[in-house]
Amino acid sequence: MTCGVPTSNLLGPAEGHGFVQLMQQLPQERLIIALQAQAVIERALDETAKYVKSRNAFGKPLLDFQNTQFKLAEVKTNAVVGRVFCDYCINLLLAGRLDAATASMAKLWLTDRQCEIVDECLQLFGGYGYMMEYPIARMWTDSRVQKIYGGTNEIMKVLIARSL
């Protein structure tokens, strides 16, 4: 079945170039996915920090345990590094210089970190982390797809390798 679309509803500068236009926007799409990953990383850190301050085990808050401190120190470090990389990529995009390899690096690195960090944070929630009443459970469930859409992370590695 064919459907006519008026010329006034044309997206982009020329008819018949939709796929080319889509391909030209892939770096921006991948940056958006990276930014989503960064937002989840920061939220997971915030939710987990609140939880470990309020939850006690063996008579003291979970945050007082060295393992918890070390895990959250690693998460915080990754969150800050991720934010700096996101800001760098946004500046490149605004300047019209965000290339496919850099956008691919952002998507690859941040979505990998998202999955690792949300998993670490869920672990600190213990059994509660697996219950959907806690936001961390939903973040964990939703995180995995980030490494798939917008081009799988394996494809990101191919694109990055091409830039060498």
Answer yes or no: 29 catalytic. yes
* DSSP-derived 3-state class of residue 56: strand
Which residue in the list 15, 29, 42, 74 is annotated as catalytic? 29
* DSSP-derived 3-state class of residue 73: helix
Cβ density class 5-33: b for 16+ within 10 Å, e for less:
eeeeeeeeeeeeeeeeeeeeebbeebbbb
Rounded CA separation 49/10 (Å): 48
Active site residues: 29
